[in-house]
Amino acid sequence: MGKTAIVLGASGLTGSYLLKKLIKDESFDSIKLFSRNTLKGLPEKVKQYTGDLLKLDAFAADFTGDVVFCCIGTTAKKTPNKDLYKAIDYGIPVAAAHLCKRNNIPTFLVISAMGADKDSRVFYNSVKGEMEAAVIQQKLKHTIVFRPSLIDGPRHEKRFLESVGLIVLKGLQPLFIGGLKKYKIIHAERIAQALLEASKGPSKGVEIIESHNIKELANK
């Protein structure tokens, strides 16, 4: 019998790639999406639950499965209010990890970010670091934290500064060797593939996968 995957953030850049891969993957016979809006044109193996993800506990009865992929994330431009930003980037993943613990879901994968550090003076990095620490504290059977560098891919919204950064960094990619490899741009499709691969691996307690290792995992 196939497994059930839960996906948070399926409408986002990385989450949308992951959803396509899960639909094609025969080892998953059921996919549950939890989101604010319904996605159209999906096959029967995908079940959708819509509502306010900031109140994720309301979904507790349906939040059951074998593996959770948390691809939730916002930006300072989309969410300038720092309290709301933290409620999304910290609150939703931590609430999801709580439900994993409560409903005996063994595997939890979450996308964090390079530079995540709960003691950082940079707000974005500190929020990601606090999120990681709170998720790990749940002591799930298998927790996998992904720390990608700058993510490339076709986005629905335009991010001017990020677009400029991508253009500059793409020209510098040949220089990113040795210890600088982890700073290379990574495409969202590669992250999605690595998430899928990692979800099928043996339980190792807590794993933190840096950006260059994400690429290696995706190429297996």
Is 124 an active-site residue?
Answer: yes
Q: Which of 124, 141, 181, 183 is catalytic?
A: 124
82 classed as catalytic: no
Catalytic-role residue among 32, 128, 184, 215: 128
Type of residue found at 39: L
Mind spelling out the 3-state secondary structure of the chain? Answer: CCEEEEEECCCCHHHHHHHHHHHHCCCEEEEEEEECCCCCCCCCCEEEEECCHHHHHHHCCCCCCCEEEECCCCCCCCCCCHHHHHHHHHHHHHHHHHHHHHCCCCEEEEECCCCCCCCCCCHHHHHHHHHHHHHHCCCCCEEEEEECCCEECCCCCCCHHHHHHHHHHHHHHHHCCHHHHHHCCEEHHHHHHHHHHHHCCCCCEEEEEEHHHHHHHHCC
Where in the sequence numbering do the catalytic residues fall? Answer: 124, 128
